[in-house]
Amino acid sequence: MKTDRSSAVVDDPATDASVLEALIGESFKVNRSIASHSNASPERLRELAKSPDRLTRRNVALNPQTPKDVLLVLAPTFASEFFLNPVFDLLLMEDPNLLFGLPVTVLKNILKRPDCPESILNWAARYGDKSHQLALVSRTEISKQLLECIANGPHVKPAEVAAGRLMTW
Amino acid sequence: MQYDKFSSKQRKVAKPAFQNERSFALKNNLESTFVEEVASDDELPEILRPGRWSIGPKVPEPVNIKASLLRRNMPLSRGAVTWPKGSAVPIFDFFRSAPNPKYDRQFNIAVTKFIQNSAFIPLEVLVKVRGPLFIEFWNAHAVDLMSRVSYASRPKGLNSEDLKWFVESLGLLVLPGILNVGLKKPELAMDALLLVDAIDAPALMVKWSVGEPEARVVKQWINDFIVAVTHKVLPVALGAHGWRRRAAEQTLRTLVAHGHRDTIENIAADYEVKGSLAEVLAFNSVEAVETLKMPEIPSSWSCERHPPPRLAASGKKLPTHAIETLVKMILISPADKPISEIEKVRKVCDKKSLANFAWSAFEEWAQSKRKKDTEWIFNSLAYLGDDECARKLTPYIREWPRLGCQPRSIQGLRILSSIGSDIALSQIQAISLKNQFESVQGCARRTMEEIAEARNLTPQQFEDRLVPDLGLSGTGTIKLDFGTRYFTGAVDAQLKPFIVDELGSPVKSLPTPTKSDDKALAKESTKTWAGFCKELKPAARLQLFRLELAMVNSRRWSGDDFKRLLIARPLLQSLVRGLVWGVFQKNGNAPLTFIVNTKGECIDATGQCVKLVITADVGIVHPLMMADSLSSWRELFEKNRQAQPFAQLARKTYRARDDADKNLFGLVGAIVPSMALKGLKAMGWRAEAGDSGMLLSFYRECPSGKASITVEPGVHMEVYEHDGHKEQKLCVDVPSTLDEMEFSELIRGLQTLRK
């Protein structure tokens, strides 16, 4: 009964951060709601990122209030949530080297996904290293502009593959 | 435990419905070809019936050469040491200096006492045993000294390099000691003995030529020192039966096979045994092994644990006694050739079942991590293995050196060579082109060269003939029949598989059969396509790599070979169509470039037909050699949306004259990841090891010069990120003598090291 009441409170978008803070730890269900709440404070989200509950951590990865360093820790596990987070594009604009903090394999997998956001594709074509660009040129769907950008880039192998693909464009 | 094809779970399910294994197998259509029935003795071939394989042929009687003839004809010279070019080391002046016998004798006694009482002998003490006394001392104590001498960088005794050094420094004087070491530890003495053309060496070397992993090396030695070898082995080859005689006979046959019959016969004439020699050479000693004691099957091994070989005609299993006879035949066969009875068994048995039997025995051995019983298990694979065995064995060959079992890898290559099918040979080819362990790669390369030489081909020409068809028809397609409809499978220019339906529309994958389809045909087609795709992957990788290498190395084909071995090959047709080829002129002018169209015709950039004469020099044109035609070809490929198998028209090229900053396109002083330097080996670079295994420089020999790289702070040969250094600073030195294409490819390769 208590949990139901708490759930109702945390589901209210107007609930204050201090109230949310008081409810943390009541149940996984409540924690999940707090993790995705727009008023959750960065400190509490940092705490919730360590939760044993996967869904709670997933919601933290989606929350725009989550601090950058926490997002980078969660990114390998919740790659799609990481780049679906609304703050992602802003962070990338602010720091083009942001994605270098991710493990190469994670980033390569993100780059190969059909739902990979345009901002990451652009980043990889401009600033990515050899392995990122190779992952990018192996995508079935890729724009001509990106291929041209890679073909004129400094990395030999991706440039050659991109130029080869441009020949059959 | 009785071998059973079905798991216990499957049996539990199956037994209530089908009371015997035969009906189970038939009902489930799992073994449509075979039945579980065991063949009776009457159904067996003669050679496998009980007690039939033990009759020994008449072997030549031993002949003793007269002692007087031996004394008269045996060379008195002790022989010579043959140094490899450039490695001759002068005799140590230290040992040549006139000794003071009185002082040295006393000193020697003191040192001998010291040696007898010490667990380890510092090398500094050993070399104080001066002059000829050292030789005496070494020859008397060589075996003991091997494990007990210690010095700074080698605390655990002398190794084969030290022995080689002794021979290089002191010549034949130290040979007795080395021969003594060889008797105990062949692997330590072999390198040193390979330098020696001496009458005393063959006794050991000939022994090693039979069945040892080093046999190939020893056989080369035998061919280098024919006279000394013949003098030594001839009396043994005619003498008492036993392994020594067999080894000696085999040595003489090896020499005859290499065209030295006249030399051997002349020496035999001196010993007045020319007739006996002819008898020995004519006699197949492999048959003679039957007269020896029948081998025992290892007690830990049981044929019950393995899928039995079956008769090809009836599909019936061989009985246990017949399988044991087969195993004994394998046990008694020498490594390089099975006895003829095995071929008789192969003729009457189902080849697949023999291969399964051999593989099962091998797998059991591999899983048990047994060190013994290797030879016959390996031989069984060599004699009975098939393509599937070859494929499954290759990962073991690649992996063994990592586990410190390099000789096994070499034996594995021998097995692939013995299986001899296109697939088996292409596995050797793949290892020869790329392998982490240089020694195994080198051995694979030599094996390829030997096989190619035996067929009077260059290794590259031989590789052309190893391209598999993988079931593709002459037009490069494979029909996948579903009964009422069919699909066509093929490969594109990059050797990736694709399927189209009857109307030519692409299909992602073969569909699930519908009611109107013939289920059996559809199942068979699906299986065929899956098998094709599985085999295609490694074959494609190999062919793409090989042809890119052919472009970089300016490989040329004759017009005739180009048509037969490239255009006409089903697997390569699409690949060939995706490249620009050229007819190269003898005068060095720009080549006449052309492509191959779908009809197999050669067309130039203007669409005109190019007629290829059979003697034309045809090759894949490097973009640097295309000059003005490069842009025309690019346009044509863009217009046709024709993909290329590898970067040819889109290849990055670098010309020395375009290097405006004179820093080799940014390579001088470039920072690269330490791990990237591992890729240098595959590009043909060799490392120069410094102190403590540090690699500070690399070099590459190109036909027109030698390039070198120095790296800072350097990598360790085992741990590239040594001491946490994740990056290296490059200093590249490229000679000005490099030709344009070599320069471009070298720079391109080094550019790929960058992160």
| Residue found under tokens 């088996």 | B424
* pLDDT, average across residues B66-91: 56
Nearest CB partner across the interface for B650, out of A154, A155, A163: A163
The number of beta carbons lying within 10 Å of the beta carbon of residue B27 is 11
Q: What is the pTM of this model?
A: 0.62
Contact residues on chain A for B649, CB-CB shorter than 8 A: 164, 167
Token digits for B624? Answer: 């640097």
Instruction: Determine contact, residues A133/A124, Cβ cutoff 8 Å.
Output: yes
The confidence score (pLDDT) of residue B84 equals 45
Q: How confident is the model at residue B707 (pLDDT cuts 50, 70, 90)?
A: very high
Contact residues on chain A for B652, CB-CB shorter than 8 A: 156, 159-160
Q: Taking each helix axis from N to C terminus, what angle separates B351-368 and B340-348, rounded to the nearest 10 degrees?
A: 120
Instruction: Determine contact, residues B478/B490, Cβ cutoff 8 Å.
Output: yes
- The answer to whether the Cβ–Cβ distance between B752 and A157 falls below 8 Å is yes
- Is B638 part of the contact surface with chain A (CB cutoff 8 Å)? yes
- Partner residues linked to B593 by β-bridges: B582
Encode B488-503: b = buried (16+ Cβ within 10 Å), e = exposed: bbbbebebebebeeee
* Long-range contact pairs involving B25-33 (C-beta distance under 8 Å, separation at least 24): B30/B5, B30/B6, B31/B5, B33/B315, B33/B350
Same domain, B363 and B379: yes
Q: Closest approach of chain B CAs to the CA of A69, in angstroms?
A: 24
**B51 occurs within a structural domain:** no
Closest CA to B287 of B613, B612, B488, B55: B55
Q: Taking each helix axis from N to C terminus, what angle separates B320-332 and B340-348, rounded to the nearest 10 degrees?
A: 140
**B469 occurs within a structural domain:** no
Token digits for A138? Answer: 């192996």
Same domain, B236 and B364: no
Determine which helix (DSSP H) or strand (DSSP E) holds B138, and give its type and residue range. helix B131-148
The number of beta carbons lying within 10 Å of the beta carbon of residue B32 is 10
Give B393-418 pLDDT, tens digit per residue.
Answer: 998 998 888 888 888 888 899 899 88
Closest CA to B431 of B541, B339, B273, B537: B541
- Partner residues linked to B707 by β-bridges: B700
- CA distances (Å), B278 to each of B219, B236, B263, B285, in order? 21, 15, 13, 13
**B703 occurs within a structural domain:** yes
Task: Please give the residue that has the higher pLDDT: either B352 or B439.
Answer: B352
Coil, helix or strand at residue B479? strand
CB–CB contacts below 8 A, A to B: 42
Give B142-176 pLDDT, tens digit per residue.
Answer: 777 776 665 555 556 677 777 777 777 677 777 78
Same domain, B89 and B174: yes
Mean pLDDT, chain B, as a whole number?
80
Task: Please give the residue that has the higher pLDDT: either A3 or B609.
Answer: B609
**B649 occurs within a structural domain:** no
Residue B439 pLDDT > 60, yes or no? Answer: yes
**B650 occurs within a structural domain:** no
Q: How confident is the model at residue B518 (pLDDT cuts 50, 70, 90)?
A: very high
> What ipTM was reported for this prediction?
0.72
- Partner residues linked to B412 by β-bridges: none
Domain boundary at B283, B317, B351, which? B283
Task: Please give the residue that has the higher pLDDT: either B293 or B657.
Answer: B657
Same domain, B308 and B405: yes
Q: Closest approach of chain A CAs to the CA of B665, in angstroms?
A: 11
Cα separation, B163 vs B81, whole angstroms? 13
Nearest CB partner across the interface for B638, out of A154, A156, A167: A167
Question: Which CATH number do you get for residue B702?
Answer: 3.30.310
* Per-position DSSP letters for B627-667, written without gaps between them: TTHHHHHHHHHHHHT---SSSSTT-----GGG-TTSSTTTT
Q: How confident is the model at residue B284 (pLDDT cuts 50, 70, 90)?
A: low
Same domain, B214 and B297: no
Closest CA to B249 of B342, B337, B340, B376: B337
The confidence score (pLDDT) of residue A11 equals 82
Nearest CB partner across the interface for B644, out of A151, A157, A164: A164
Show the 3-state SS of A14-60.
CCCHHHHHHHCCCCHHHHHHHHCCCCCCHHHHHHHCCCCCHHHHHHH
**B421 occurs within a structural domain:** yes
- Is B643 part of the contact surface with chain A (CB cutoff 8 Å)? yes
- Is B755 part of the contact surface with chain A (CB cutoff 8 Å)? yes
Q: Closest approach of chain B CAs to the CA of A94, in angstroms?
A: 23
Closest CA to B399 of B386, B383, B415, B412: B412
Same domain, B561 and B434: no
Same domain, B606 and B684: no
Beta-carbon contacts of residue B367 (< 8 Å; ≥ 6 apart): none
Contact residues on chain B for A97, CB-CB shorter than 8 A: none
- The answer to whether the Cβ–Cβ distance between A167 and B643 falls below 8 Å is yes
- The answer to whether the Cβ–Cβ distance between A168 and B638 falls below 8 Å is yes
Same domain, B329 and B460: yes
**B50 occurs within a structural domain:** no
Same domain, B345 and B362: yes
Same domain, B184 and B103: yes
Contact residues on chain B for A164, CB-CB shorter than 8 A: 643-644, 647, 649-650
Same domain, B22 and B106: no
Q: How confident is the model at residue B493 (pLDDT cuts 50, 70, 90)?
A: very high
Specify the DSSP class assigned to residue B149. Answer: E
Domain boundary at B283, B312, B328, which? B283
Q: Closest approach of chain B CAs to the CA of A141, in angstroms?
A: 16
Domain boundary at B283, B302, B324, which? B283
**Which site among B496, B498, B652 would you substitute to test the A interface, given the most A Cβ atoms closer than 10 Å to its Cβ?**
B652
Q: Which of residues 725-754 of B touch A (CB under 8 A)?
A: 748, 751-752, 754
Mean pLDDT, chain A, as a whole number?
88
Cα separation, B287 vs B613, whole angstroms? 51
First-last CA distance in chain A: 62
Same domain, B187 and B205: no
- Is B649 part of the contact surface with chain A (CB cutoff 8 Å)? yes
Coil, helix or strand at residue B622? coil
- The answer to whether the Cβ–Cβ distance between B642 and A168 falls below 8 Å is yes
Question: If you measure CA to CA, which chain A residue comes closest to B752?
Answer: A156
The confidence score (pLDDT) of residue B47 equals 80
**B629 occurs within a structural domain:** yes
* pLDDT, average across residues B274-290: 67
Token digits for A150? Answer: 């890679």
Cα separation, B147 vs B447, whole angstroms? 34
Question: If you measure CA to CA, which chain A residue comes closest to B638?
Answer: A167
Highest mean pLDDT among B132-141, B208-217, B350-359, B684-693: B350-359
What's the total number of domains in chain B? 7
- The answer to whether the Cβ–Cβ distance between B754 and A130 falls below 8 Å is yes
Lowest mean pLDDT among A15-19, B384-388, B596-600: A15-19
Token digits for B232? Answer: 């030594």
The confidence score (pLDDT) of residue A144 equals 93
Domain containing residue B258: 60-77+199-283
Instruction: Determine contact, residues B618/B687, Cβ cutoff 8 Å.
Output: no
* pLDDT, average across residues B712-739: 85
- The answer to whether the Cβ–Cβ distance between A167 and B634 falls below 8 Å is yes
Coil, helix or strand at residue B198? coil
